[in-house]
Amino acid sequence: MGKKAKYLCWNHPGNDVTGLLARSEKVAGTFEKLLGGELYHYHTKLIMKDAFEGGAHNWHQDYGYWYHNGCIKPDMGSVFIAVDKADQTNGCLKIVPKSHKLGRIDHIAVGDEVGADPERVSQILPVLPLVHAELEAGDAVFFHSNVLHRSEQNSSPNRRWAFIIAYNRADNNPVKVHHHPQYTPLNKVPNSALLNCDEVANDEGKDFFLGQSNENKSLKERTVD
């Protein structure tokens, strides 16, 4: 217990290779089709589960937290892009397909973390069995903000890093100011822009913040992530 997964988070995509990835037609354009309207970049995280260190996360829905950020509707979602191979030994995602149809589940204190109500989860899993999202580097999973998911700690000698790009519908502008952004138009780019990008890293205008995510995170901290 107490193992930690480090993360680096930024609110605006920028113009480097990670920004063009978030703005690309293949990623942002695909999600616009899935969510049915114009999107904006809500944030991107680089999740770093290092060998023998990366912590576990309880069952949760991202909207279980984002609801408290002032996002009235769950018209939001994330793209999980594997930087490294992810399997059951190093803490790959566990996802419950079709759980987005269940609506927002109550999120309560679960130990020192905040997650989906365990009693409700125990009723859901026999009906909607989980799947392990085992991915090769470069693979991606697109999922709605109400999809139940979790991950175990990394108990292997192999790191498990991933980019998670979160989007919000433009017409779902948060009703209160939060550390994640209000609606900001997303300037999408063709996929070729990513292939031709020679700017690997540029932090200009990204609005970074650092953090650690673990199973001992406090109630206050967990509800704002």
pLDDT digits (tens, 9 = 90+) for 136-178: 999 999 999 999 999 999 999 999 999 999 999 999 999 999 9
Q: What is the mean pLDDT of the chain?
A: 89
Q: How many CB atoms lie within 10 A of CB 29?
A: 16
Class of domain 7-223: mainly beta
Residue 128: φ, ψ to 5°: -125, 85
Q: What does the pLDDT look like over 95-142, one tens digit per residue?
A: 999 999 999 999 999 988 899 999 999 999 999 999 999 999 999 999
Residue labelled with tokens 């790009």: 165
Among candidate residues 42, 43, 74, 58, the one with its CA nearest the CA of residue 5: 58
